[in-house]
Amino acid sequence: MRAVILAVAVMFLVAAPAYAAPPPVEVVHSESVRVGPYDMRASFSEWPVRAERSLDFTFVPDGDIAGHQGTVRMVGPGVTGPKERLARHPRARTEWGLDIRALPREGLWSLEFTVDGPKGPGTGVLAVPVGPRPGPSATLSWTIGLGPVIVGAFAGLVVWIRGRSRRRADAWTWT
């Protein structure tokens, strides 16, 4: 019984870091944008922004989000996203944010904001340059990643065909 209690205690001690608060958003770059009567700070966890690279966005109008509500729409080369209601960031609870987002294409992206608060409604646009996708091309990455699966499937097919022909040969020798 003591061993079970000790094992459970060790399990909870080892898992304790998982129960801790998530790490805060590490902001490496911020931009200011005028959204009607509000100055909004848009911050990024990666800079420069790269296509298909996940990052966090945080937004704060005039110092605090209390008493404000807003939306954002991401518009890029050939892509127009839906209007999304700005909600608290899961790791920066005093700010609005988008958690772990990736912009799918390189080029100039626009973040179109709408904010409503004590000073009334306002709109504004922030242009964000997005560079090329880091690393090898997606086609090469998928080919390398699926290579072992393809080789394994081919080897399995060869083994199955050879075993099938041997079973047929064994069947003829018994008769």
Query: Can you give the pLDDT at residue 119?
Result: 94
- Whether the Cβ atoms of residue 74 and residue 109 lie closer than 8 Å to each other: yes
Q: Is 86 left (phi over 0), alpha (psi -120 to 50) or beta?
A: beta
Q: Which residues, other chains included, contact 75 with Cβ-Cβ below 8 Å and sequence gap of 6+?
A: 81, 109, 110, 112
- Find, among 9, 87, 15, 102, the residue nearest to 50 by Cα: 102
Query: Can you give the pLDDT at residue 18?
Result: 56
Maximum distance among all alpha carbons in the chain?
Answer: 94
Class of domain 24-131 (CATH, top level) = mainly beta
User: Is-cis flag, bond preceding 22, omega within 30?
Assistant: no
How far apart, in whole angstroms, are the C-alpha atoms of residue 51 and residue 133? 5
Cα angle, residue 109 at apex, residues 103 and 114 outer, rounded to 5°: 105
Give the SS3 label for residue 56: strand
- Find, among 108, 45, 118, 39, the residue nearest to 79 by Cα: 108
In terms of DSSP H, where are the helices of the chain?
A: 2-19, 138-174
Would you give per-residue pLDDT tens digits along the chain (175 residues)? 788 787 777 777 776 665 566 678 899 999 999 999 999 999 999 999 999 999 999 999 987 899 999 999 999 999 999 999 999 999 999 999 999 999 999 999 999 999 999 999 999 999 999 999 988 888 888 889 999 999 999 999 999 988 887 766 666 655 5
